[in-house]
Amino acid sequence: MDKMVLRGMEYYGYHGVFDEERKLGQRFFVDLELELDLSVAGRNDDLSQTVNYAEIHELVKGIVQQKSFKLIEALAEHIASSVLDTYTMVDALTVHVTKPHPPFDIHFKGATVELYRSRK
């Protein structure tokens, strides 16, 4: 299966277990790997025969910036279901959501969840 990969989409959102996180907000990174047939669009050079990644970016932006979840797992799940519901050409996808600066007194580059969802 072909893939369309969107990496490093950066948004500001209000997600977290702690009240302060949901009040002040923080940066989040989202990566998507969409599984779909890209052959017809590639042969015909026709945007209508694929998914528009600019539209997907806007869909994800709306979810991250306008909703609030305690867990990045829930954020990732909502992104996955929204993409599958909106874009019937997408057969499956992998979603990575990274919180680069969790509010802990430990040193690491962030927390990431990864999930895979398909229509099958």
- Specify burial of residue 19 (Cβ count, 10 A radius: 0-12, 13-18, 19+): exposed
Q: How far apart are CA 37 and CA 10, in angstroms?
A: 26
Catalytic residue among 61, 67, 70, 99: 99
Is 23 known to be catalytic?
no
Say which residue the tokens 């979603």 belong to: 95
The DSSP code sequence of 81-118 is: HHHHHH-TT--EEEEEEEESS-SSSS--S-EEEEEEEE
Q: Quick count: other Cβ atoms within 10 Å of Cβ 110?
A: 13
**Mind telling me the catalytic residues?**
99
